[in-house]
Structure 1
Amino acid sequence: MTEPAKFLLVDDLPENLLALEALLARDGLVLHTARSGEDALELMLANEYALALLDVQMPGMDGFELAEFMRANERSRHIPIIFVTAGSGDAARRFRGYEAGAVDFIQKPIEADILRSKADVFLDLFLQRRQITVQRDELATLSAALQAADRQKNRFLAVLAHELRNPLAVLTAGLNILERASDPAAIETVQASMRQTLSHVTRLVDDLLDINRIEQGKIALRRESLALADVLPAALAVAGPSIEAAGHTLTVEAPDETVMLDVDPARFVQIVGNIVGNAARYTPKGGRIDVVAARAGDRLHITISDNGVGIPAEHQSLIFDMFEQADHDLGIVGDGLGIGLSLVKQLAELHGGEICLVRSAPGEGSTFRVELPVAD
């Protein structure tokens, strides 16, 4: 909510302050009063004013002296000043006032229409400056966001080029070998490698399409009432080749009782398989991955822990952002486009669930938890 504009009224006589307040009062305007120059300076330290109306003839610090103090202070030097005076309007007096920083004089007795008209001018100017400041800040924020998006786009294109170039090189090499090979065993090995490479490329494309569908609201869940015991093995099987290739130990703990879920089975496999697959990729060979499923009220908690490389604290808030991908001193870099966890987060939320990073530390591994609602 926008803070209301403020005027500062300074006069040593309470009745004069009451009269000024009555003339200037309106919605959206706050009037602060001070009965001395010292009190006025104190108020200026804590507030921003659109206009200051100063009585010239005050005991102690008079209006001219107060104006000079205001102009000497960075916080108050830009406040417009109108002097209110019952004294003579001779040229010398006015010159001193303008020299002290005044923009105008109003003679007592005050003509209400003139006072309001002049006050309106400075109020409008103040509100316009405030609006310009807000727009400037918004433009700066937008510019920073566009620059970040441009950097993200360039990073994504570089990663995409890398991720497509490598499998294309494998496929090209495979075709060259097949053209010359005559040994059936060698041909079978090359074909298996090419199938795996094509599967990797297909996964990249599928992830991109899923992200696009979710952002456009075009993805539809095909929910089924399924037992956890029927879908969890399929999700773990997705990461099976990565776990086996790295020699990891996988332990799975699930409830003894039947837990029913209302989920899209393909998307459930995608959610859990992606996190377990990440654990396999970011854990040095011979590591350990633990999957624990437990019911907590009307939610199913699936906790995936590893003893891998972990995530630095400064990166943990970014891991669910699009195209974010960890890169470690150990030389372990995740394959893919860095959209896996972002996709998992969105798929979990479509199911009415969520995913969070429970803990992570470099060299100690990571623990993620997926929460999904249990079927009634």
Structure 2
Amino acid sequence: MTDTPKFLLVDDLEENLLALEALLAREGLELHRASGGDEALELILEHEYALALLDVQMPGMDGFELAEIMRANTRSQHIPIIFLTAGSEDAARKFHGYEAGAVDFMQKPIEPTILRSKSSVFLDLFVQRQQIVAQRDKLVALTAALKAADLQKNRFLGVLAHELRNPLAVLSSGVALLELPMDDLDTDDVKKSMRQNVRHMTRLIDDLLDINRIEHGKISLKKENLDLGEVLPHALEIAQPAIDAGDHELVVNLPDEQITLNADPARVVQIVGNIVGNAARYTPNGGRIEVTILNDADHVILTVADNGVGIPSEQQSIIFEMFGQSDNVRGISGGGLGIGLALVKQLVELHSGEIRLVKSVLGEGSVFEVRLPQSR
């Protein structure tokens, strides 16, 4: 948003200032008055002016001296100056005025039509300059956003390649082992590892597809009245491989009363499974993950707390953005693509709910809270 254009009127006579105000007043223009050079300089320090109209013959600092000071100051040197004088109209005087930095020299008594016409030119130039500056700033911001998006895209492709290459390597090795003619080969562990990596790849691809569906408005919820206590075990089952891999302690706190939601059961499973799975992946081995369900008036509150790596304070604002992984979790094996929480946020909001990061401390862990409306 641009500032309202302003003119500076400088004259030691009050009646002259009133006359200039009457001539130049219009909607969308501010007129600031100064009765001398010192007062004018104070105003210049506070405001940006589209035009300055200076009386030449003022006691103390005259108009020429004021113009010279303005031209010597980087803040005011660009302000167009029109001199107003009741003195003689000789060439030397005009030369002095232009040398001091004037763009025009008008003789009193002022012709109203000419003054309005000339001032309108400088007003239009000022407005155009403001528009150009605003457009420039938008282009700078857009360029920065495009660079950030390009960097984010490249980082995402690198993470995607890493996340897909590792399970593919396991699958390739598993297939090679199963093809070996070894009667004593224990294939159970090989098959288990292969199944785990297939699940991991499937989860990544499903998340990508869901994000695409949501962004194109192609995802629909199949809501029904459900008991959260019955759905929760299925959600925790999704995160169980990551919990087992990290040898974590999982603590679940449920209220005694039944908790009923009007929600899509598959999406609730996905929401809880993603958050708990994230906590498991970003918590060092032997950690603790606590899932708590509470009733709060019209909402159900799900809290997931861990004692994992935590999120730096300066990066906590981006974790719900697409590919918004924190720097200190990048490179963790199986850390995902950085879309899990972005997907969870969109699924929660589709249910008219809210997700937030309650707190996170580096080296101490994080606490996430999801609020979903109860069914009526």
Shorter-normalised TM range: over 0.9
In the alignment, what sits opposite 1:161? 161
In the alignment, what sits opposite 2:274? 274
What is the identity, as a one-letter code, of the residue corresponding to 2:297? G
Q: Using a 3 Å threshold, how does the CA distance of structure 1 residues 331 and 213 change in structure 2: closer, same or farther?
A: closer
The superposition leaves residues 340-359 of structure 1 with CA deviations (integer Å, 9 ceiling, x where unpaired) of: 01111111111111111111
Shifted more, 334-343 versus 199-208: the winner is 334-343
Q: Using a 3 Å threshold, how does the CA distance of structure 1 residues 362 and 181 change in structure 2: closer, same or farther?
A: farther
In the alignment, what sits opposite 1:142? 142
Q: Judge conservation of contact 1:9–1:33 (CA < 8 Å) in 2.
A: yes
Q: Using a 3 Å threshold, how does the CA distance of structure 1 residues 26 and 181 change in structure 2: closer, same or farther?
A: farther
TM-superposed deviation, 1:247:
2.0
Q: How far apart in 2 are the matches of 1:332 and 1:307?
A: 16
* Structure 1 runs, 4 residues or longer, greater than 6 Å off: none
In the alignment, what sits opposite 1:171? 171
Q: How far apart in 2 are the matches of 1:336 and 1:329?
A: 10
Q: Judge conservation of contact 2:282–2:329 (CA < 8 Å) in 1.
A: no
TM-superposed deviation, 1:330:
11
Q: Judge conservation of contact 2:329–2:335 (CA < 8 Å) in 1.
A: no
TM-superposed deviation, 1:312:
2.2
Q: How far apart in 1 are the matches of 2:228 and 2:69?
A: 75
The TM-score with structure 2 as length reference comes to 0.96
TM-superposed deviation, 1:332:
4.1
The CA RMSD measured in Å over matched residues stands at 1.6
In the alignment, what sits opposite 2:114? 114
Shifted more, 181-190 versus 17-26: the winner is 181-190
The superposition leaves residues 25-71 of structure 1 with CA deviations (integer Å, 9 ceiling, x where unpaired) of: 11110000111111111110100000000111111111111111111
Shifted more, 262-271 versus 283-292: the winner is 283-292
The superposition leaves residues 311-338 of structure 1 with CA deviations (integer Å, 9 ceiling, x where unpaired) of: 2223222221211334549974552211
Q: How far apart in 2 are the matches of 1:243 and 1:172?
A: 25
TM-superposed deviation, 1:241:
2.1
In the alignment, what sits opposite 1:44? 44
Q: Judge conservation of contact 1:327–1:334 (CA < 8 Å) in 2.
A: no
TM-superposed deviation, 1:270:
0.7
Shifted more, 110-119 versus 280-289: the winner is 280-289
**What does residue range 208-219 of structure 1 map to in structure 2 within 5 Å?**
208-219=208-219
Q: How far apart in 2 are the matches of 1:162 and 1:240?
A: 22
Q: Using a 3 Å threshold, how does the CA distance of structure 1 residues 184 and 258 change in structure 2: closer, same or farther?
A: farther
What is the identity, as a one-letter code, of the residue corresponding to 2:233? P
- Give structure 1 stretches of 5+ with no counterpart: none
The superposition leaves residues 207-228 of structure 1 with CA deviations (integer Å, 9 ceiling, x where unpaired) of: 0011111111211111111112
TM-superposed deviation, 1:181:
4.1
TM-superposed deviation, 1:23:
0.9
Q: Using a 3 Å threshold, how does the CA distance of structure 1 residues 34 and 326 change in structure 2: closer, same or farther?
A: closer
In the alignment, what sits opposite 1:201? 201
Partner SS for 1:239: helix
Q: How far apart in 1 are the matches of 2:196 and 2:263?
A: 28
The superposition leaves residues 143-186 of structure 1 with CA deviations (integer Å, 9 ceiling, x where unpaired) of: 00000000001001111111111122112111211111444762
Q: Judge conservation of contact 1:181–1:187 (CA < 8 Å) in 2.
A: no
What is the identity, as a one-letter code, of the residue corresponding to 2:249? T
TM-superposed deviation, 1:98:
0.4
Partner SS for 1:180: coil
What is the identity, as a one-letter code, of the residue corresponding to 2:357? L
The TM-score with structure 1 as length reference comes to 0.96
Shifted more, 226-235 versus 31-40: the winner is 226-235
In the alignment, what sits opposite 2:94? 94
Shifted more, 289-298 versus 137-146: the winner is 289-298
TM-superposed deviation, 1:310:
1.7
Q: How far apart in 1 are the matches of 2:283 and 2:43?
A: 61
Q: How far apart in 2 are the matches of 1:287 and 1:163?
A: 23
Q: Using a 3 Å threshold, how does the CA distance of structure 1 residues 295 and 329 change in structure 2: closer, same or farther?
A: closer
